[in-house]
Amino acid sequence: MMISESASPQVGIRANHASPVVIATDGRSQSDAALVVGRLLAGEPDAIRVVTVLKPMPMLSGAQVGATRDLVADRRANVRSQVTTQMTRTGNQAVEVELRDGDPATVVSRLAHGAGAAMIVCGLGRHRVADRMFGDETALRLIRMSDVPVFAAASGAAQAPKRIVVAVDFAETSLRAARLAIEIAAPAATIYLVHVFGVGTAGGRHLTRTIGGVTSIMVLRDEMQRDLAIRIAHGAGLTLLTFTS
């Protein structure tokens, strides 16, 4: 699968062999987008680590241990074959696949932490929001437990995002999130920096001084001349909108 230059991020996350993009896949079509987007964000094949995790089987009685060993070997062979086919289908056949055992979210988050990964990319397994929130969604569990940024790629994703919403509270973590949004955004993308004020709190703060690369700022107002948002032009060719209320 060829990826056009226009599909790539404007800035990029500067991943490399020592700080790779970890792509988590289960070999199914729901993970295809993770392999495509992960390769796109990494930029180079040697900046990618692809991992698939085989969930443990239920505990069985001693009489079934022999059969279980054969079954585990078959499962491992089937998963590796399925992922290898997927890698060819998505144009990643040159990348080696790592097969691990355990809970997928736990294994991937620990691997990424130990590897000093720049990002984890995974697919979204469920289509409905309610299913993702209340089901056993690996992507959500990975986001909750990982200390590495996680990009959950929706089915069909094949380019850097053109519209990004960043929830900000003006803390250091918000700054890091805004910078990361700039790095993964497509050329001429729009990034929305959204902060919700509580009752009685004052507005007017934004992240322009700390993000860097700002070339111009324009305040957007409604017909009553109330501030709605601050339009920020970034040197990378991006537009950041900071909502002030």
- Is the pLDDT confidence value at 60 over 90? no
Q: Do 127 and 31 belong to one domain?
A: yes
Return the CATH number at 86. 3.40.50.620
Q: Do 87 and 177 belong to one domain?
A: no
**The pLDDT value given to residue 223:** 66
For residue 76, the enclosing domain spans 5-153
Residue indicated by tokens 């409905």? 128
Higher pLDDT: 64 or 31? It is 31
Q: What digits encode the pLDDT tens for the residues 5-30?
A: 567 888 888 899 999 999 999 998 88
- With respect to residue 96, please indicate whether it lies within any of the assigned structural domains: yes
Tell me the pairing of strands 119-123 and 97-101. Answer: unpaired
Q: What digits encode the pLDDT tens for the residues 212-233?
A: 666 655 666 666 666 556 666 6
The pTM is what?
0.76
Measured distance CA(57)–CA(71) in Å, rounded: 10
Overall domain count for the chain: 2
Q: Do 10 and 85 belong to one domain?
A: yes
Q: Do 131 and 199 belong to one domain?
A: no
Q: What digits encode the pLDDT tens for the residues 119-173?
A: 999 998 655 554 444 445 788 889 889 999 999 998 888 899 988 888 877 778 8
Q: Do 91 and 23 belong to one domain?
A: yes
Q: Do 121 and 210 belong to one domain?
A: no
Q: Do 111 and 175 belong to one domain?
A: no
Q: Do 108 and 175 belong to one domain?
A: no
Q: Do 48 and 73 belong to one domain?
A: yes
Of the three residues 118, 153, 188, the one that is the final residue of a domain is: 153
Q: Do 104 and 144 belong to one domain?
A: yes
